[in-house]
Chains A and B, each alone.
Chain A
Amino acid sequence: MNFLEVVILLWLPILVLFFGLLEALVIPLLGDNHRFIRRLSVNGFILFTTILIMMTFKQVKEAPIVYEFGKIFGMGIFFKIDLLNYILMVFAGIIFMVASIYSLEDIKQKDRERTFYFFFIISFVATIGTLMAGDLLSFFLFFEIMTFGTYALMVHYRGDKVLEAGNVYIYMGIIGGLCILSGIILLSAYTQSYEWTNLAVKFSSMGVIKYIIGGLFIVGFGIKAGMVPFHFWMPKMYREAPFSVNAISSGILTKVGAYGILRVATIIFSVGTAEASTSGKILWQTSQQIGVVIIWLGIITMVVGVFLALLEGNMKRMLAYHSVSQMGYIIMGIGVAAYLGYKGATGFSGSIYHMINHGFFKALLFMVAGVVYLNTKETDMYKLGGMWKVMPFTAIVALIAVLGITGMPGFNGFASKSILHHAIIEAYKYGHPSFKYAELIFKLVSAGTVCSFLKFFGFIFMGKCPEQYAKLKPKYSRMAVAMGILATFVVVIGIKPDFVLNTFIVPAVLSFTYDAVFVSEHLVGLNFWNMKDIMGMVYVYGLGVIIFIVGIKFHLFHKHLPKWLNAERLIYTPVTQFCEDFPNLCVQRYEKRMILGDVFIYVTLLTIILGLLIVSGF
């Protein structure tokens, strides 16, 4: 064991936090004359952190690394790297790294670049902290910093419209945070547990409160993950945010929400390894009930997301709705993991795998949209076309991303989507037959995704190029580097899907409470290139093309939802409206009266008191 390994084993979180804070201090001090150094230091820091984290793999594989810090928050906090958050932390490092390369051209406002990178670093450190946190309090600490840090990134362009969208983001973030906080408080008060551990045994003796705890956590994390019906902040905010921030947010931040649901559903509600093999069904019951709810929430999220995406003409909003839809896949996978309990390994691994894959291709898609927008200043894809001639490289990476998200064999989306598909099949094989319908919806949503990306790629890159764009000579070398990196990941994972699965995900699955025999049967030797899955994809593509043709023919894509069906109008607006109008009403109508009522109160009280004083004869 050499010196570096010792340092990492003992002080990794301190190193990350220390250098993060140092970086956050250095950035404001570097003036605009040192922009190059500033950007270099940001890139350097993120690369350095990612490499540090990657180096722990050997130890993490044997046992989770725990870093304890006593005395903070009274009971002390600790960080813990296990195989689950190891994967996501490395992934977060990659996404932030790529986004920071991309942002070199995306974020060009000279005076506010400093602010941007300041909060960029804060968000990065907070994301790593959230993932690494071992106890609930420090998790919540970093989670809140992440919300506020990314808020500053999201509203980078300022202006009234952006801030209005930002309000939706931040208030939803705060509501989510408060839900999580109440969940944490209830959990710690009723179980005396401040960390992510298996609590099924304790829960089995509790009444309704366990469902309240579960519900609060799911709502809180669901808001961050963009789960329906709390998804509306996503299209609204993404439309106004910089592209590189969209890439980060879709790539990793929403995944943190999903990660939270995953931790809650498959760890807190799960049975410990010791009891798992011996105990009967009773201990798994809570997990099963929570699982059903999560599966259907996931399915609804998938459907709503893809449906709204089909009706959308704005690139950013369409990709945002697709993020919602793809988060639905992940949430559904988590649901299956919780539902099947001891046999839920497929859902578990599928959702982690899809988190990573979705991060890669969705970040790439946002970056593609960014390149198109920065050169044409147009976000409505119906007004674009023929871009492959103008920017061939972008067209190629866009095609890769599109094939990835639609699940073409040979690209990464195929791998995780087939695992998730297996998971939902297992759900009705081992569980309730009603999940047969869930599987049908799953296929339909995949077809919808295909259709909507046919639309995306077709309208932007194919067809006739409008006059004013035909002579564009775009220059985007740094952006091309960023997109190239992501496209490489999409292709490499797609060609060798079993590598990631067997190296990272299967060990992670085995370190949790899952049936080892089941895992070795269904995951370890999984052959991705079997005829059944590939034929399934062919049907999905066929259906997608049919929907596309029908949609074009009958102009279905230009339809809009009735106004009353908007989730924002149903949920967010009434709350904020009430919170703003009611105080004003109170102030206007009652405050004056209350203040002027003092004479009345004064006289009555004085009379009573003086009367009593006389009566008591004092």
Chain B
Amino acid sequence: MKSTDCIVNPDDEDESMKSSITHHKMDFFSVNSLILLIIFTLLTTGYVLLNTRFGSSILTIILHNPKVPMVILLLPFIAAPLSVYIGYKSEDYRDILMVNMIFITLLLVLSLYTDIANGSMAVVMPKILGFGLHFKIDRLVWMLMLTASGLWLMSCIYAHNYMFEEEQHRNRFYFWMSITFGGVMGALMAEDLLTMFLFFEIMYISCYFLVAHNQTNSALLAGNRYIYLGVVGGLSILLSMSLIYAKTSTFIIAEIGSLIPAVWQTNQMFILIAIIFMLLGLAIKSAIFPLHFWLPEAHSSAPTPSSAILSGMVLKVYIFSIIKILFRAIGMDVITSVNLPFVITTLAIVGMIMGSILAIGQKDIKKMLAYSSVAQVGYMLLGIGLATELGMAAALFHIITHALMKSALFFCAGAIIYQKGKRDIREFQGIGYEMPITMVVFSIAAFSMIGIPGLIGFMSKWYLSIAALSSNKPVFVIMIMISSFLNAMYYLPIIITAFLKENKNRNNVLVKDKVPKTMIVPMVIMASLCVIIGFFPQWLMDFITKAITLFY
């Protein structure tokens, strides 16, 4: 009996630890978000019903509008300054504006589906930057745009309470969140190298403000590292672009793709240097292993909602651009003739193993998650490096997988920081009893990372292994397994500490999370998507497989 007597009320010590949590009531923002989610469910069910009942012709008439991509692109850039203006008057209204803006973008992206279902949609903004901005949306781009807007929606809902309690300078945060969103959308849709470069830089600079948001010394240092390397990477891409332009006199990817084989015959060295610098630049920006060192600091010092989008989506934009440039602009023949797949897969393997190994040594949870991103980028790169359609499909599957898992993990880490103010994984004893929902979500996402069947991460490992074997490289399967084991080495101790170890200050009594619903709901949605797609991966995989045939 003694042990129960000495701990009277498990809630007491929480109050002393964090006294500022007051913002739990159902405010206007939550109501708005709830309405949005309901609208979304209604619209998608309605769309599915309509699609089967009357055929898609009616929908095409309603939804077809060539200006939609422009609107998608411009909305974030318009909303950004507006949010600052509103933000000075009311923080709630600013958050509502942001969420609604992203929600409208999401709906607009959805409405594009009828146009890209069996082909692609090209949009040109003539005369801008002298060459005009070219955009093209096909199924793959559409899928990633949908993921991006979904992720941003979740992060913004999550950010409402989190930012209010944890961070200052919220107007600036939302401003740059919105600009980054526009940058991501633009970079995904870009069809010529110049547009891609433009949006890369927009994205890069706006992300700097997210990384250095705290304005602490370490955050500023991380930001500096981030921006310097980004500039180098940007210059490298610029150099490569200029080399390519010098030989082909066009920036448009499809045209480059048709011209390169001829140029390759005469100017091998020239193109090779161009490819090397293009990959170097993109490798820096997407944190491929030996050039990853800016990432852990940057992603861990950013506020949690932006960590989630940085790891979940911004990295993937560069990876997707690698796919776009390698397979559409440069072409398979050139790639295989310079033995590029070997280089890429080697980098991928080293990244997979070393990223995990460095993650095991981390004590800060967000830094650990960031290192885990380095390892996961290795998986995607492995899929790309196989240079087969199966491998590419696996890589794209993993892009989505990682977006879901990693954002869920970051959301959980944020919730732990929000409620307990702890970042050190050694201090998580008994936290599973204090924040059960958070830690269950964390466990689901972590098991998914380890590769427990029934979760999305397992399927992505499965597809990757099958792809590796179909191009006759069993070594990669062994590497994937070793990497899975290493994943287990750093995720399991957290779960074990959280659920099985006793806290010194309180008994392990189950209580509800003291985290607002706006933070709980996004992570639960992410985790349930992990489970649902884990059991029915073919919904996503069939889409990707079809998209890849239309991609070239």
Contact for B537 among A73, A185, A598, CB less than 8 A:
A73
User: How far does the Cβ of B233 sit from chain A's closest Cβ, in whole Å?
Assistant: 8
**CA–CA, A190 to B472, complex, Å?**
10
Does the CB pair A163–B239 fall under 8 Å? no
- Once the chains bind, are B297 and A595 in contact (CB under 8 Å)? yes
Contacting residue for A144 out of B229, B453, B502, CB 8 A = B453
Binds B, one of A48-56, A171-179, A450-458, A497-505: A171-179
Against A, the Cβ 8 Å flags (1 = close, 0 = not) of B477-500 are 110010011101100100010001
Expressed in whole angstroms, the minimum distance between the Cβ of A298 and any Cβ of chain B is 26
* Given A170-B492, A616-B242, A616-B243: A580 and B229 interface contact (C-beta under 8 Å): no
Question: In the complex the two chains form, is B536's CB within 8 Å of A71's CB?
Answer: yes
Q: Is the CB of A597 within 8 A of B536?
A: no
In the complex, whether B268 has a CB less than 8 A from a CB of chain A is no
- From residue B226, how far is it (CB to closest CB) to chain A in Å? 10
Closest to A171 in B: B488
Whether the Cβ atoms of A182 and B485 lie closer than 8 Å is: no
Contact pick for A582, options B357, B359, B496, CB 8 Å:
B357
Tell me whether B509 is interfacial, beta carbon within 8 Å: yes
Q: Which residue of A lies closest to B497 (CB)?
A: A163
Contacts A579-B486, A583-B358, A587-B362 given; does A182 touch B235 at CB 8 Å: no
- A418–B239 CA distance with the chains assembled, in angstroms: 79
In the complex, which residue of chain A has the Cβ closest to the Cβ of B461? A181
Q: Which residues of B contact A155 (CB under 8 A)?
A: 500
Instruction: Report the bound CA distance from A228 to B297 in whole Å.
Output: 45
Enumerate chain A residues within 8 angstroms of B481, measured Cβ to Cβ.
178-179, 181-182
Q: A141-B454, A175-B485, A602-B229 are contacts. A613–B239 as well, Cβ < 8 Å?
A: yes
A188 at the interface (CB under 8 A from B): yes
Q: A111 to B229: give the CA distance in the assembly, Å.
A: 53
A10: Cβ under 8 A from any B Cβ: no
B232 engages A174 (CB within 8 Å): no
Query: Could you say which of A36-44, A89-97, A539-547, A604-612 contacts chain B?
Result: A604-612
Of the listed stretches B306-314, B338-346, B463-471, name the one at the interface; the rest are far from the partner chain: B463-471
Closest A residue to B221 using CB positions = A595
Bound form: Cα–Cα A345–B470 in Å: 37
The answer to the question of A189 belonging to the interface, with a C-beta cut-off of 8 Å to chain B, is yes
Residues of chain A with a CB closer than 8 A to B360's CB = 579-580, 583-584
Please give me the residue from chain A that is nearest to B246 by CB atom: A616
Indicate if the CB atoms of B501 and A163 lie closer than 8 Å: yes
By a CB distance below 8 angstroms, the chain B residues around A586 are 354, 357-358, 361
Q: Which residue of B lies closest to A594 (CB)?
A: B293
CB <8 Å contact, A158 and B294:
no
B242 touches A618 (CB 8 A): yes
Residue A148 lies at the interface, judged by CB distance under 8 Å to chain B: yes
Given A111-B509, A182-B477, A591 contacting B228 (CB threshold 8 A): no
Interface residue tally for chain B (C-beta within 8 Å)? 58
Q: Are A158 and B242 in contact (CB under 8 A)?
A: no
Rounded to whole Å, the gap between the CB of A106 and the closest CB of chain B is 19
Is B474 among interface residues, defined by CB-CB distance under 8 A?
A: yes
CB within 8 Å for A185 and B236 given contacts A73-B537, A609-B277:
no
Asked if residues B469 and A185 are in contact (CB atoms below 8 Å), the reply is yes
Whether B500 pairs with A185 at a CB distance below 8 angstroms is: no
Contact call B361/A587, Cβ cutoff below 8 A:
yes
B232, A73: Cβ atoms closer than 8 Å: no
Interfacial residues of chain B within 511-552, with CB under 8 A of chain A in the complex: 535-538, 541
Residue A137 CB within 8 A of the other chain: yes
**A561 within 8 Å of B by Cβ?**
no
User: Taking each of B451, B453, B466, B474, which has the highest tally of chain A beta carbons within 10 Å of its own beta carbon?
Assistant: B453
Q: Give every chain A residue within 8 A of B450 (Cβ-Cβ).
A: 174
CB contact under 8 A between A189 and B469, given known A598-B228, A606-B235, A618-B242: yes
- Alpha-carbon separation in the docked complex, A494 to B484 (Å): 46
Q: Does B225 contact A (CB under 8 A)?
A: yes
Cβ contact within 8 Å between B452 and A144? yes
Residues of B close to A598: CB separation below 8 A = 225, 228-229, 293-294
Nearest Cβ on chain B to A119's Cβ, whole angstroms: 11
Contact check: which of A72, A74, A166, A605 meets B236 at CB < 8 Å? A605
**Which residues of chain B are within 8 angstroms of A190 by Cβ–Cβ distance?**
469
CB contacts (< 8 Å) of B264 on chain A: these are none
- Provided the pairs A583-B358, A598-B293 are in contact, do residues A185 and B465 lie with their beta carbons within 8 angstroms? yes
Q: Are A583 and B509 in contact (CB under 8 A)?
A: no
Set of chain B residues within 8 Å of A145, measured between Cβ atoms? 452, 454
Contact yes or no, B466 A185, CB < 8 A: yes
Residues of A within 8 A of B354 (CB): 586
Q: Are B496 and A163 within 8 A (Cβ)?
A: yes
Contact A72 B486 (CB under 8 A): no
- Closest Cβ of chain A: how far from B379's Cβ, in Å? 15
> How long is the Cα–Cα vector from A144 to B457 in the complex, in angstroms?
14
Docked complex Cα distance between A606 and B284 (Å): 13
A155 to B362: give the CA distance in the assembly, Å. 26
Q: A296 within 8 Å of B by Cβ?
A: no
Whether B232 lies near A602 (C-beta < 8 A) is yes
Closest chain-B Cβ to A213's Cβ sits at a distance in Å of 10
Q: Report A133-154 CB contacts with B as 1/0, cut-off 8 Å.
A: 0000100110011001000000
Interface residues, chain B, with chain A CB atoms under 8 Å away: 225, 228-229, 232, 235-236, 238-239, 242-243, 246, 273, 277, 280, 291, 293-294, 297, 354, 357-362, 447, 450-454, 459, 462, 465-466, 469-470, 474, 477-478, 481, 484-486, 488-489, 492, 496, 500-502, 508-509, 535-538, 541
Q: List 8 A-B contacts (CB under 8 A).
A: A73-B537, A74-B459, A145-B452, A145-B454, A166-B496, A579-B489, A587-B361, A609-B235
Beyond A144-B452, A185-B465, A598-B229, 5 extra complex contacts between A and B, CB < 8 Å:
A186-B469, A595-B225, A597-B293, A609-B232, A609-B235
Q: Which 4 A-B pairs give the minimum distances between C-beta atoms?
A: A587-B361, A583-B360, A189-B469, A583-B361
